[in-house]
Amino acid sequence: MNEALKLLTYASQTINNYFMYIGGEGLYTPTFIYEKSDLCVVCSDDATTRVMNVDSSITLQEFIILLSKEPNLQLIKPSIISEINTLYMQKPPSLEAMLRINLNKTLHELINDGEILTITDPTLRDISLSIQIQFSNRMSIV
């Protein structure tokens, strides 16, 4: 409905970003601009590789939990592939069962310092996230 209204009235040419029609008891049509965040995985124009400092002794399972708790990422069920091999895949079930053994291994056992991981997740839809892992004593993401 909103898109048809914008098209038929040529209002779309003056609306900058978002238009909402509220017609319950009157007419209210606010417009506002969605601002892009450079930290947002989906809407940022910056497709560069992020750098993440992690302790080399954490397990892959702990790393997955860390990714899901990171407020800038908000991943639900991440699948992780390194430059050399597949570390963990959430689906299909047969592949998940085969790679489940990696969950208890430390990152130091699975990857090298400075290696880039490709991460996919249902929240990212058609894009993937690249994170370069730097081993350190404190955890942070840049």
Q: What is the DSSP string of 44-113?
A: -S--PPEEEEE-TTSBHHHHHHHHHH-TTT--SS-EEE-SSSEEE--SSHHHHHHHGGGGGSBHHHHS-T
> What is the predicted pLDDT for the residue at 26?
64
Segment 11-31 mean pLDDT: 62
Using the 8-state DSSP alphabet, how is residue 15 labeled? -
Q: How many domains does the chain have?
A: 2
pLDDT at 104: 95
Q: Are both 77 and 132 inside the same structural domain?
A: yes
DSSP label of 21: -
Give the model's pLDDT for residue 15. 58
User: Whole-prediction pTM value?
Assistant: 0.68
In a domain, 41, yes or no: no
In a domain, residue 45? The reply is no
| The amino acid at 93 | P
Selection from 16-25, 109-118, 127-136 with the highest mean pLDDT: 109-118
Same domain for 135 and 89: yes
Which of 58, 38, 62 shows the shortest CA–CA distance to 48? 38
Task: Give me the chain's average pLDDT, please.
Answer: 80
Nearest to 72 by CA among 4, 29, 123: 123
* Span 21-38, average pLDDT: 66
Measured CA to CA, the distance from residue 102 to residue 113 in angstroms comes to 17
Note whether 62 and 17 are same-domain residues.
no
39 lies in a domain? no
- What's the mean pLDDT in 13-37? 64
Does residue 59 sit within a domain?
A: yes
Mean pLDDT of 23-34: 65
Work out the pLDDT band at 12, boundaries 50, 70, 90: low
61 assigned to some structural domain? yes
Q: In the prediction, which pLDDT does 81 show?
A: 95
Range of the domain at 19: 2-32
Residue-wise pLDDT tens digits, 55-78: 989 999 999 999 988 887 888 999
Query: Is residue 38 included in any domain, yes or no?
Result: no
Mean pLDDT of the region 122-137: 85
CA distance 132 to 46: 15
Under DSSP, the state recorded for 125 is T
DSSP 41: T
- Whether 20 and 73 share a structural domain: no
Q: Residue 8 belongs to what H/E stretch? A: helix 2-9
